[in-house]
Amino acid sequence: MTFKDLQKIIADQRKALERESKLYNPSYYWKGRKIVLLDQWFQIEACYTLKAALQYFPNDFPSFGFSYILDNIEDQMLKQEADQWYSDFIKLMEYSENAKYGKTKCYQCLLSPDRGEAAIFIGINKVISRALDTDGVSVYPCTVLNRFA
């Protein structure tokens, strides 16, 4: 390991710590909305309303996502507001390089080994990987299982 390698490791760690400290700082805002702990966001949504919860962003991506909440909105005005909120939330997760969000993005990829277990995709991932092979090196299974980890 060279001195340059150590400098890169230290810079990467400093960047990760800075990113984490921003998201756990209770006074941090994103797109004009305060960032709260994920559990607090769900408490706000449960105890008040979804409209109240949309005034905040959770600091983490829930393992089950938000589709069960956002897909069942009947009020069109609230639906538009929720769609914009979700778009901004995804930008926050990408900015913070959230590992849970990164894993969900990689899970959806056809080159993910997790997809090989899905009955509908049996075999298609290997066909796609063969098409992507240009230098004889297999790209399946993908070694990147999380975009942000």
CA–CA distance, 5 with 2 (Å, rounded to integer): 5
CA–CA distance, 146 with 149 (Å, rounded to integer): 5
Residues contacting residue 28 through CB under 8 Å, at least 6 positions apart: 22, 34, 35
DSSP state of 117: G
| Gyration radius from the chain CA atoms | 19
Find the range with the poorest average confidence among 27-41, 72-86, 133-147: 133-147
Please identify which residue in the block is written with the tokens 């399946």: 140
* In the predicted structure, residue 121 carries a pLDDT above the cut 60: no
Q: Can you give the pLDDT at residue 63? A: 83
* In the predicted structure, residue 90 carries a pLDDT above the cut 80: yes
* In the predicted structure, residue 16 carries a pLDDT above the cut 60: yes
CA–CA distance, 110 with 117 (Å, rounded to integer): 11
Helix (H) or strand (E) run with residue 56 in it: strand 56-58
Q: How confident is the model at residue 125 (pLDDT cuts 50, 70, 90)?
A: low
Select from 144, 147, 52 the least CA-distant residue to 95: 147
CA–CA distance, 101 with 47 (Å, rounded to integer): 26
Q: Which residue has the higher pLDDT, 17 or 31?
A: 31
pTM of the model: 0.67
